[in-house]
Amino acid sequence: MLKYIVEKLYPNYYQNKYNVYVFDLDNTITNKHTGGHYQKGTYKRFITDEMLFGVKDVFKKIKESNGMIYINSRGIASNVYNFLSDTGLFPFITGVYAANYDGKKYSHNGVVTEFKLEHNRWPEIKSIYLNKIVQKEGVSKDNIYYFDDTKANIYYAKHMGFDNSYIVNSNKFPDTSDKYNLVNILQTLLK
């Protein structure tokens, strides 16, 4: 009976747990920081064609391995959505956690936002969002792979038990020898 209820509430609970890949946006997926205020139609200013091709390639590999993809960004929710939509990345993504201007709770287009951009505890907020993903997907923290160029975010996440957290930095792309580039890190991890 308990198993039946748990399966109804969390359909994946008794299945093999899948990995969830969580990405910051600015300087993780993008090569240049958008300032959190991305304007529709301007994506080529922030991500090179090669980088976008590389990101799509690894996103496809993640989906083929039944992994899930989330975005965890301090960018304003609608701007993050516009960037992901303009670049064609949005269809790969299960959910987005982002920022807003007033700190209220919103959920729109698969984008959830509960904290304002100017909040001074974003390393903590990013881990709050990671915990929400754990709960939503019914996975363990070990199934979360988190990537962010802001060291404080990664240190905080590791402190909170997200051991698979990686400092990346995509601003040197397309230097293929750059070990901090997101695409290079993921190509290695997904082998």
Closest separation between CB of residue 71 and Mg ion, Å?
Answer: 11
Q: Which of 86, 114, 137, 149 binds Mg ion (CB under 5 A)?
A: 149
**Window contacting Mg ion (CB under 5 A); options: 24-32, 49-57, 94-102, 118-126:** 24-32
Binding status of residue 147 toward Mg ion by CB under 5 A: no
d(CA 124, CA 156): 7
| Residue 59 vs 147, nearer CB to Mg ion | 147
Q: How many residues bind Mg ion (CB under 5 A)?
A: 4
d(CA 116, CA 75): 9
Q: Following DSSP, what letter does each residue of 50-100 receive, concatenated?
A: HHHHHHHHHHHHHHHTT-EEEEEEEEEHHHHHHHHHHTT-GGG-SEEEEEE
Other Cβ atoms within 10 Å of 100 Cβ, number: 18
Closest separation between CB of residue 25 and Mg ion, Å?
Answer: 6
Binding site for Mg ion (CB under 5 A): 24, 26-27, 149
